């Protein structure tokens, strides 16, 4: 009887084994880097203020200098949601980054890079207050470097800073407040869906998308308009107070608000050039212009550019693998209007072109 031949090991088996080893090794290396990064962060700063001690200093540009300029970023829609699973919100990140600046005597200036259409009212106002209080308590200047878009809430968080640099083609302004929603009762009627509502008061279902237009009470729009007007008044005060303080700090070297600036505070988008003419920005230029201005305001000749970032955690790493695994999705176009991805029922400092 002839011996049974050994089973052939196909190349696919070796490929699979190799892939498992590489993926497993990659995960272990990533975890090691996270731990090492976090350890370096703890050694670098032991202030213990909020979560500032868990931020790592990252060198963006090494110019062989003893002094540093910290670069902070406000990019995308401003929301109160975490920037990553289990992580900080944008408000918390800006707060912690400025705490690092407070406790680092080698940081002589801050550049706030803004490229945002705006966002939710409350997070925008919280960032404004953090920056305002920092400048009230510290001598460290904050210079804004506006990108392609720094509108509405993007301008709101820029307003308290000492100096604002914009490209002449930057889209900015859009000073105003918007409440956006949908009335889908007509669609419900076509489908045959009838809402059943039990409420405690006549206005408890105020601004509900399930109501027919003729069922909406006059008070509903009056109440919403009153809230919007109140928030709009706050926006204009933020602009006025911020630009007035900046003019005082800059001692005539920057721009002052034009006497008629409120005439363009009607939600319209402005170019950087128009914003300069109205005193809403101080200078036209790019990021390099902002760096040079920051050094001038800080009275230094050169500086390294740094930022403070949270090291990637294990939750973020696992989320990344999850995203890769579930990245494929089936999307069906029903021909309906695209629904806003922003949470409804909130007030926004948002460029009108980016609400939907």
* Predicted local confidence at residue 209, as pLDDT: 66
**Other beta carbons less than 10 A from residue 291's beta carbon:** 22
- pLDDT tier for residue 293 given thresholds of 50, 70 and 90: very high
Q: Is 42 a catalytic residue?
A: no
Q: Is 204 a catalytic residue?
A: yes
All domains in the chain, ordered by first residue: 51-179+218-320+343-354 (3.90.226.10)
- 299-to-18, 44, 71, 101, 296 alpha-carbon distances in Å: 57, 26, 17, 17, 5
> Averaged over 320-335, what is the pLDDT?
47
In the predicted model, is pLDDT for residue 320 greater than 70?
no
> Averaged over 235-261, what is the pLDDT?
95
DSSP 3-state of 338: coil
* Predicted local confidence at residue 231, as pLDDT: 93
Q: Point out the catalytic residue in the list 41, 116, 152, 174.
A: 152
Q: Point out the catalytic residue in the list 40, 199, 204, 302.
A: 204
In the predicted model, is pLDDT for residue 159 greater than 90?
yes
- pLDDT tier for residue 112 given thresholds of 50, 70 and 90: very high
In the predicted model, is pLDDT for residue 21 greater than 70?
no
pTM to 2 decimals?
A: 0.77
* Predicted local confidence at residue 3, as pLDDT: 57
Please give the torsion angle defined by the CA atoms of residues 172, 309, 43 and 49, in that order, rounded to the nearest 10 degrees.
60
- Exposure of 13 by Cβ count < 10 A (0-12 exposed, 13-18 middle, 19+ buried)? exposed
CB 243 within 8 Å of CB 257: yes
């Amino acid at each position: 009887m002839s011996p049974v031949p050994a089973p052939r090991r196909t190349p696919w088996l070796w490929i699979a084994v190799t892939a498992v080893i590489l993926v497993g090794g990659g995960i272990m290396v990533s975890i090691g880097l996270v731990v090492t990064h976090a350890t370096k962060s703890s050694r670098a700063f032991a202030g213990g203020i909020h979560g500032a001690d868990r931020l790592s200093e990252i060198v963006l540009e090494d110019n062989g200098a003893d002094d540093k300029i910290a670069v902070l970023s406000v990019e995308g829609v401003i929301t109160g949601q975490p920037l990553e699973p289990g992580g900080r919100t944008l408000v918390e990140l800006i707060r912690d980054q400025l705490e690092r600046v407070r406790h680092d005597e080698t940081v002589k200036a801050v550049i706030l890079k803004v490229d945002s259409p705006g966002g939710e009212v409350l997070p925008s106002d919280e960032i404004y207050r953090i920056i305002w209080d920092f400048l009230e308590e510290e001598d460290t200047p904050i210079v804004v470097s506006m990108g392609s878009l720094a509108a509405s809430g993007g301008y709101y968080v820029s307003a308290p800073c000492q100096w604002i640099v914009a490209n002449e083609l930057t889209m900015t302004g859009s000073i105003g407040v918007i409440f956006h929603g949908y009335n889908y009762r007509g669609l419900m009627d076509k489908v045959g869906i009838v809402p059943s509502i039990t409420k405690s008061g006549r206005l408890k279902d105020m601004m509900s998308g399930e109501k027919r237009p003729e069922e909406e009470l006059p008070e509903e729009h009056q109440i919403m308009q009153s809230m919007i007007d109140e928030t709009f008044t706050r926006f204009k005060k933020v602009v006025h107070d911020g630009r007035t303080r900046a003019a005082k700090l800059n001692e005539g070297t920057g721009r002052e608000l034009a006497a008629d600036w409120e005439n363009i505070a009607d939600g319209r988008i402005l170019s950087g050039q128009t914003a300069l003419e109205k005193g809403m920005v101080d200078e036209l230029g790019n990021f390099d212009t902002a760096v040079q201005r920051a050094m001038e305001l800080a009275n230094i000749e050169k500086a390294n550019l740094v930022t403070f970032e949270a090291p990637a955690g294990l939750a973020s790493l696992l989320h990344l693998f999850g995203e890769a695994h579930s990245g494929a999705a089936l999307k069906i176009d029903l021909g309906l209007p695209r629904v806003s991805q922003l949470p409804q029922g909130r007030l926004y400092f948002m460029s009108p072109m980016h609400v939907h």
